[in-house]
Structure 1
Amino acid sequence: MAKVRARAIIVAAVTVAFGLLMAALSTNTIARWGGDDNSGASDGVRGLERRITDFTAGLAPDGDYREPRRAERRDVAHAVGLVLDGHPERARPLLADVGFRLRTLTDTGTGTGRRYAELSDRTADGPDPRGWARVYVDLSAPVRWSVQVPHPVSDADTERLGARVLLDSPGGVLVLAGAHRRAGDDDAADAAHRTDSVFDAVCDELARRGLPGVQIHGFADDSAPGRDVVASTGKGRAGRPDARRLTTALTARHFSVCRAWVRSCPLEGRDNVQGRRAATEHVPFLHIEFARSVRASDPRMRRAVAAIGTVTGRWAKDDAD
């Protein structure tokens, strides 16, 4: 009973924070992307997926990457928290100090008309990109869950999957690595296995807040012959019911799934650092690997997103009830 009462208090607090956020966004201008940070209302974008893939198209294994300092990681994560808490006006100067911008946009490609906050690294548009993360926050509903893409382009088309998962269910946050995993030196940009990245700092903030997450990866078909998907909860166990629900949905959509909690599978993600943090916080975390043949097929990708939506949609609904 105490746990139920505590959960109700948390949900009420999140709902109030969401109301404050929407009020703040209606009275305070967040810069239109493509212009000054203090210019007019939010821009429309034909498709958020296209917005994201235009960005990731510039990521390459020989690209630049600078490891962020601890204070820089902390400030971006804190700013994300302020946006979630309904204080974008307080997030903006923090972001500006570390070379980030905060924009709003409306996705017109899916017909939902949902509005999103975009937190992006200004250096990505210049000659010396640092390769830090991007974050997209759904402003249409209280945030309940996250989708994480640590290896865009390297795990080809996972950035498209991540964008579609965000668009498919309300109340999500997309955390997208800002560099190819091979950029920089000594695998410094491998966001799934480094704790000194902006990507990891943001995911830590979300886990600290108790937001369940699904992290999307990709593998070559011959890495797991005969399998379309490898599903795991990483180091933790809190996500087991959600993982079972997801694999049932994937199987119903004609995917062959290796379930890491049932048998030994390749690519189980037990060393994934975001999964380890989620396990420490007892927060559900799903580590999902998709074969290249799935990611290369638009119809199969749509079916995969629909299956993931059975879980993200439930996360949103369960927390709203």
Structure 2
Amino acid sequence: MLAAVTAGVLSLTQCTSSSHDDRPRSAADDDGSRTGLEDVVTGYTAGFSEDSGYRRPSRTERHAVAEGVGLLLDRHRARAERRLADVDFQVRTVTDSGTGRRYAEVSDRSEDAAAPRGWGRVYVDLDSPIRWSVQVPHPVADRNTERLGAALLSRSSGGVMVLAGAHRKAGRGDEADVAHHRRSVFHAICDELAKRGVPGIQVHGMADDSAPRHDVVASTVKGREAVREGRDLADALRRRGYDVCRAWARSCPLEGRKNVQGRNAWAQETEFLHVEFSPRIRDHRKHLKAAVAAMTTVTRDWRRM
């Protein structure tokens, strides 16, 4: 599974209940569309631009979405749908017809409106206990990080993907830069995960001249809970021929010290990795594949926790 997860075909279906759902099981109705998970994600982000718009959510709206995602994590599908509907969000099931793996897709109904709110999406593995998350705060702006996130979710079971819903420069000022603002739906969801002790790996893209001697910068931000996982990731990348700056061991550029999800994870004593990938890795299929394979060494360990 790589930058183009087109070999595995997904059928998008309407709400198949999990075994722990609080409503009767029912047959899934195929809506007729068939596509890859990565295509679903990149189709969604294709319209993102600096002018695509963003509205800062209220405290009530942020908490409603986070609570709804929490109910999904607890396998209370019907209750989650009702809570999310309070803020005009919806849930559908994405089923991988190649592997049979199913994901709950949480999306904003305003995505197709003239003025979308830009609050993002979440994908939750329905067939495995949730053990880790991948966070994509700057899709499109950090080119192809949305592909990294989708490929990792497809490659490794037990995951949640939290995907920002707007270009980081959309909206007023820098309020859509969710990696540096707590008053976002993105942060509220990541906070819900951190409170539950769900480790996270947040993927970013850096420019060639940001760290010219390195292909990757890996950091635990403020905490040290994920140093072992960071070493495992750096070692896996090094074995594949990439130079990694290890921010827990030396001074590196782009360490993400002000990243609010990382600082929040530290406060919750939850493992968190902030990883910057160079254009070389993000823009070439074989390198993207290698980076995803390296990240699975971390998610594999988290699945054993």
TM (normalized to structure 2)? 0.91
Report 1:162-181 matches (<5 A): 162-181=149-168
Partner of 1:120: 107
**1:117-170 CA distances to partner (integer Å, 9 max, x unpaired)?**
000001111211000020000112011100000000000000000000111110
Partner of 1:46: 35
Cα contact 1:156–1:218 (8 A) shared by 2: yes
SS in 2 for 1:217: strand
SS in 2 for 1:24: coil
Cα contact 1:191–1:199 (8 A) shared by 2: yes
CA distance in 2, matches of 1:26, 1:123: 27
CA distance in 2, matches of 1:68, 1:295: 31
Structure 1, unpaired ranges of 5+: 1-19, 33-39
* 1:170 aligned partner, one-letter code: S
Higher helix proportion: 1
* 1:157 aligned partner, one-letter code: N
CA distance in 2, matches of 1:203, 1:45: 29
Partner of 1:279: 266
CA distance in 2, matches of 1:44, 1:210: 36
1:63 paired with 2:43, answer: no
Cα contact 1:43–1:105 (8 A) shared by 2: no
Q: CA deviation at 1:300?
A: 0.2
Q: CA deviation at 1:243?
A: 0.3
CA distance in 1, matches of 2:25, 2:64: 21
Report 1:1-321 matches (<5 A): 21-24=18-21, 27-28=24-25, 40=29, 45-108=34-97, 111-316=98-303, 318-319=304-305
SS in 2 for 1:227: coil
CA distance in 2, matches of 1:306, 1:293: 16
CA distance in 2, matches of 1:128, 1:311: 38
Structure 2, unpaired ranges of 5+: 1-16
Which is further off, 88-97 or 174-183? 88-97
**1:32-59 CA distances to partner (integer Å, 9 max, x unpaired)?**
8xxxxxxx46877431110000000011
Q: CA deviation at 1:222?
A: 1.1
CA distance in 2, matches of 1:211, 1:44: 32
Q: 1:26 to 1:49 in 2, by over 3 A?
A: farther
SS in 2 for 1:155: coil
Q: 1:45 to 1:172 in 2, by over 3 A?
A: farther
RMSD: 1.7
**1:202-245 CA distances to partner (integer Å, 9 max, x unpaired)?**
00000000000000000011111121000000111101010011
CA distance in 1, matches of 2:279, 2:22: 40
* 1:22 aligned partner, one-letter code: S
Q: CA deviation at 1:21?
A: 4.3
TM (normalized to structure 1)? 0.87
Partner of 1:11: none
Cα contact 1:44–1:105 (8 A) shared by 2: no
Partner of 1:36: none
Cα contact 2:220–2:230 (8 A) shared by 1: yes
Q: CA deviation at 1:107?
A: 2.2
CA distance in 2, matches of 1:237, 1:42: 46
**1:264-293 CA distances to partner (integer Å, 9 max, x unpaired)?**
110000100000010001111000000011
Partner of 1:17: none
CA distance in 2, matches of 1:95, 1:85: 15
